[in-house]
Structure 1
């Protein structure tokens, strides 16, 4: 069993060590996780790449996916809706000869 909070902590710690990022915070509002990033001289493209790269490193060895959606940005603050989730797919064969059976992958 994995604890998603440990993955979040690992992700935020890795992301905050990226050059050009001064502060990273995350919090849940109405059950939706938001990522607040304060930057120092990093462009938007490099920021998106850093989020994707560090999310991948935090999820390594786990059956998870990450989704990041930009919400808003100001001069040096970016807000993203970011979540880690387990993919919605079957992980075993039920024996009913389903067309999308895990055996065919």
Structure 2
């Protein structure tokens, strides 16, 4: 699984969404930012589109997504968006841990 492939799929899905003119992904100071040009000015609607596209891009992978609003100017929206692997045990190490994967 390559995170760049997931980002590319995510951006292409956002580009296909009605109401979003362009979507761009940039990394600044090691933090990924999502730049959207949209014809809608409803923040909740844009965040729902981001969430829907992120879920479709992550389908079949053990990933989570986090989106944080940064700013909006005219028709440009900026979000700090990242895909990350959840911090949980994914296998049994044999040490009889209290949070072992076998107990789920």
* TM bracket, shorter-chain basis: over 0.9
In structure 2, the gaps of 5 or more residues are none
* Structure 1 residue 16, shift from structure 2 partner: 1.1
Find the aligned partners of 2:75 and 2:103 in 1 and give their Cα distance: 48
**How many residues in Structure 1 have an aligned counterpart in Structure 2?**
104
> In the alignment, is the contact (CA less than 8 A) between 1:20 and 1:42 conserved in 2?
no
1:29 counterpart residue number: 28
Find the aligned partners of 2:81 and 2:2 in 1 and give their Cα distance: 17
* Structure 1 residue 49, shift from structure 2 partner: 0.5
2:73 counterpart residue number: 74
Find the aligned partners of 1:41 and 1:68 in 2 and give their Cα distance: 18
Q: Deviations over 1:48-98 (max 9, x none)?
A: 100000000000001111000111111211100000011111111111111
1:46 counterpart residue number: 45
1:97 counterpart residue number: 96
Find the aligned partners of 2:17 and 2:76 in 1 and give their Cα distance: 15
RMSD: 0.9
The two structures have a TM-score, normalised by structure 1, of: 0.94
**1:84 is paired with a residue of what secondary structure?**
strand
The two structures have a TM-score, normalised by structure 2, of: 0.95
Find the aligned partners of 2:33 and 2:81 in 1 and give their Cα distance: 6
